[in-house]
Every structure is written in structure tokens, then in C-alpha cells.
Amino acid sequence: MYLKKRELWGGTAASISGEGPGGDARGPGQAATGLSPETAATVGELVSALDRRRMHREVTLALRSGIRDATADFSFLRLRGLRNLLKSLRSIANSDDAIRAFRYSQALSELQVVPVLFNNSLKQLKNDPIVKLDQIFGVEPMKISSPATDSEVALALRVLEGCCLLHRGSAALAHQHKAVKVLINMLSNRGILEQGACLDALISLMLESSANQLAFEACRGIEKIADLIKDEEVDEGIRLKCGEFLLLLIGHVNGRRDHTPLANIHEDIRQLLGEKCASLIWATCQFGSNLDPEQRQTVLHVHARRVLEALELYY
């Protein structure tokens, strides 16, 4: 489960410092000898502007290509589009300029990724298709789309997670499609592959969105997570994911000074998981922020294992 935007999606984004190889602090224009400082500055600004335009063009083309396939009628085409979108998001996360270009692109309806996910790969999770008589006996043939496979749904959730981590507005877009309700239902009805991706996407939806936190509370999401982590017949990897989810969520709530929609979550966890397990979660949810991403993930996994062991002793 990802901890920070840059930690999961490609490490620390590179900033434009103008340093050349070997720590050379000259700008792009000054690398050419014989230029005055004023000319070098002008050349440097031009090169930077061209680089930004190229970056915007590459991001736009990648999104258009991925979205085109992700809206196809056939699952294998949608899978290809989702893979390309996920690959693009991970590449975008490596550059601050690319992240800015992606955020700008999401203001344009034809480039918005989240609606594509919920209108295609995740659509059948929201409501079953209803076939009407006029579609059966009508002159116009009924449009048929192949159902989403488990792999397609899991990939769509990874793309959703990436969008929310890189762009806060994507979580708001997802709320318009009742994303939290869709994901909560998925935890009960889908397989291991989708459940794991669902938990990661769910935490990315909620961390910076009060609307999604309210939806999580309305869907009794904590109870769903508690039921999964207590059920010994559930895959152990999913139960550990649930423990990580609770640690991240409680850590976020504890770190907020203002009133959050999940202000009563501590009492809910105490009632659902018991005093000992709840106390362990509260005590360990604020783990070292000075650790690198890999160390933080390891510590998170260790704490989740301890939560699971405490729960098994309690029950």
C-alpha cells in the first residue's frame, strides 16, 4: 500500500535546478560557450519553454491513446488501454513538470481518466445491465460489450489509485461516480486480486477528500474492513492489507487538527476489534516519517502483522 504520492509512484519527482553533469550549475544556454549571460539566459528560457511544451504534448498523447482503448467494447482492448494508462501515470510521477501537465489535463473533460474507468471497466460493478424489450425486438441492434475480467477490474483500480495520488481533483471526480460505495461492495463480492487493489485505491480516495470519507462512513466501511480482518477464512494477504489500511487511515485522522468526518473512528474500532487491538493500532499508526519508502512499507507490514496477531489472541 502506498504511503506518499512520490513514494509509490516513482520516487521523488525531479525538480528543475539547471544543474548539469557533475554538479555544473550552469543553465542550458550557458553550456554553449561564447554566449553572453543575457543571451544564455534567453536561450535557457526558450529551451525550458520548449521542454514544457513537449512534456504537455507527450502527456496529452499518452492519455488520449490510453483512453481510446480503455473505452473499447472488448475487454482485451480495455486491458491494453489500462496498462498504457498505468505505465503513463508511473512515468508522470517521476517529473514535477509532468505532474503539473497531468493535473492541467484533468480539467479537460476529454482527457479525464476517472470517468472513463467508472463508465467502462468499473461500470458493471455499479449496476447490472437491464435489457428492455424494445432493445430485443427493435430494429437497431443492441450494443454489446464484453464483461470486465478480474484483471481488468484490478488494473482499473490501480489506475484510479494513481490518478488520486497525483491529482486531488480525481478523488472529487470519483465521488461523483459513487466510487466509495462501488469499492466497498467490491470488497464483499470480488476475488483476492480485486480486493487488494480495492484497498489501495480506497485509501487513496479518502485521505484528502472529506466527501469520500463521509461516503465511507455512510457505507459503514469500517465494519466491512473489520469483518474481513476478523474472518480467518479470508486470504491472509487481504487481512494484512486491511491492517495496513486501518493503520494508514487512523494515522491520517490522528494527524489532522481540524474536525474530520471520521472523528469517531477510534471508538468504532474499539467496539469492532476490541480494546487491545484498537490500542495497538493507535500506538503504532504514527511510524517514522523520516524513513525511506521501502523502510516505511516494511514497518507498515510489520505493524499490520502485529495487529493481526493481537486480533487472533483477542478472539
Domains in the chain, CATH or no CATH each:
1-13+45-131+141-219 (1.25.10.10), 223-315 (no CATH)
Residues 81-125: tens digit of each pLDDT:
999 999 999 999 999 999 999 999 999 999 999 999 999 999 854
The pLDDT confidence band at residue 16, using thresholds 50, 70 and 90, is very low
Terminal-residue alpha carbon distance, the chain: 26
Distance CA 147, CA 154 (A): 14
The pLDDT confidence band at residue 147, using thresholds 50, 70 and 90, is confident
Q: CA nearest 269: which of 240, 219, 229? A: 229
Residues 193-217: tens digit of each pLDDT:
999 999 999 999 998 889 999 999 9
pLDDT of 15 reads 39
Q: What is the mean pLDDT of the chain?
A: 82
pLDDT of 216 reads 94
Whether residue 128 has pLDDT greater than 80? no
The pLDDT confidence band at residue 259, using thresholds 50, 70 and 90, is low
Neighbours of 51 (CB within 10 A): 13
pLDDT of 21 reads 44
What are the contacts of 268-272 at 24+ separation with CB within 8 A?
268/222, 268/223, 269/222, 269/226, 272/222, 272/223, 272/226
Residues 27-37: tens digit of each pLDDT:
444 444 567 88
Q: What percent of the chain has pLDDT over 90?
A: 49
What is the Cα 75 distance to its own chain's centre? 22
Distance CA 54, CA 255 (A): 39
138-144: average pLDDT:
59
pLDDT of 186 reads 92
Which secondary structure element, helix H or strand E, spans residue 82, and what is its range? helix 75-92
Neighbours of 205 (CB within 10 A): 27
63-76: average pLDDT:
95
Q: CA nearest 121: which of 76, 89, 166? A: 76
Q: DSSP readout, 265-290?
A: HHHHHHHHH-HHHHHHHHHHSS--TT
Residues 151-195: tens digit of each pLDDT:
999 999 999 999 999 999 999 999 999 999 999 999 988 899 999
Q: CA nearest 13: which of 44, 55, 47? A: 55
